[in-house]
Amino acid sequence: MINLYPTQLETLSIHKVGNKSKNEQVFFSEEPYHLNDEITAILKEYFFKPFREKEENYLHFSNEVDVEFNELYKICSDIFEEPSSAHQNSKRIASHLFEQSNHPHIKSGELYVCYLRDVVLDNEKIDAVGIFKSELKHDFLEFEEEGNNLEIIIRQGINVNKLDKGALIINRNKEEGFKILSVDSNRYDTKYWLEKFLQVEATTDENYYTKKYLKFCQDFAKDVVLPAEDKKEEVMFMNRAVNHFASNDEFEETSFLNEVMDNPQLIPEFKNYKTEKGPKYSIEDVSNFPIANKAVSDARKKIKNVIELDTNIQIKMDFINPESAEKYVEKGWDEEKQMYYYLVYFNKEQKS
């Protein structure tokens, strides 16, 4: 788990990168920016906020031949080996970004390259390189006193509440291409940022497999359990699946199916679904892996545990105590009304 609150901006270099296809150029700052406390506080929030709000989907540098041929990998390796070279190497990063900025849709903008200290990853302080880009400009108003009146002045600038693009290259797992996090608010040119500039791939670690497998289970519940059973069983299947992940350190598929699959007849359906859909989630050959607790917590927040009825009534199931739904919620059919019903047992109403 990453913590950026104690992170320090050791150096900051700012350049402007134009669109090569429009004959725009690159502007290199001669020296690093001289930071003060006020600017540092604003920039830290501007740079780091998107990463605090985003799932930790780690990437790593890649290349079809060898990671050593990835341009950014080489540059970041040089910076980590000699942090005092950060500004000079930031110009190489700007040049590399400029070479990839050759599509008419790509916007020019300011590039910020930071050397970061005290990034806390899994309770360990570590250095990182931050690469951020601002693209979209916004109008804002300033006011000046002119005699007895206020005059409006229209200016353009960036919105420090929304970073356009960013990447954190963390100095860990160098041999595998470092650990990288990326954000991109402007989805129209994601390929240019991820595939051409960063040239990264997803890191297939326990976090990756835990998230992918739970997402696969969620789709299985919707596509197979719901049509075969009902909405309650769809919710309860995911309830049991998440609780299985939460209570184990290692995932083993046979044990998972025996514990989670309430209807044994659905086990062959699960295996067929995995054969058919597994490649979509990159789990077709995966049946054992360490479980990442953070990924389980993130998945639990996203999975719906509500039965929504067409009579504008909702029944919320408890993911922490699934036995309550099993024991105290029954589904039936009313012949007179020709409608389904849920029967809920309880001793007394809880005070809110």
pLDDT tens per residue across all 352 residues of the chain: 799 999 999 999 999 999 998 989 999 999 999 999 999 999 999 999 999 888 778 999 999 889 999 999 999 999 999 999 999 999 999 999 999 998 888 899 999 999 999 999 988 999 999 999 999 899 989 999 988 999 999 999 999 999 999 999 999 999 999 999 999 987 766 688 999 999 999 888 898 999 999 999 999 999 999 898 888 888 889 888 998 999 999 999 999 999 999 888 999 999 999 999 999 998 999 999 999 988 888 888 777 777 788 888 887 776 556 566 667 788 888 888 898 888 888 888 877 6
Distance CA 242, CA 329 (A): 20
Distance CA 229, CA 245 (A): 23
Residues 6+ apart with CB under 8 A from 273: 220, 223, 224
> Which strand (E) or helix (H) includes residue 269?
helix 266-281
For 3-37, give one letter per residue: b (16+ CB within 10 A) or e: ebeebebebbbbbbbbbbeeeeebebbeebbeeee
Distance CA 341, CA 318 (A): 19
Distances (CA, A) of 213 to 14, 262, 288, 303, 318: 41, 19, 11, 13, 22
Structure tokens at 178: 């470092």
Distance CA 211, CA 283 (A): 11
* Residue reference for tokens 């979209």: 136
Domain boundaries, given as residue ranges, for the chain: 2-203, 207-344
Is the distance from CB of 88 to CB of 31 less than 8 angstroms? no
pTM reported for the whole predicted model: 0.76
SS3 category, 239: helix
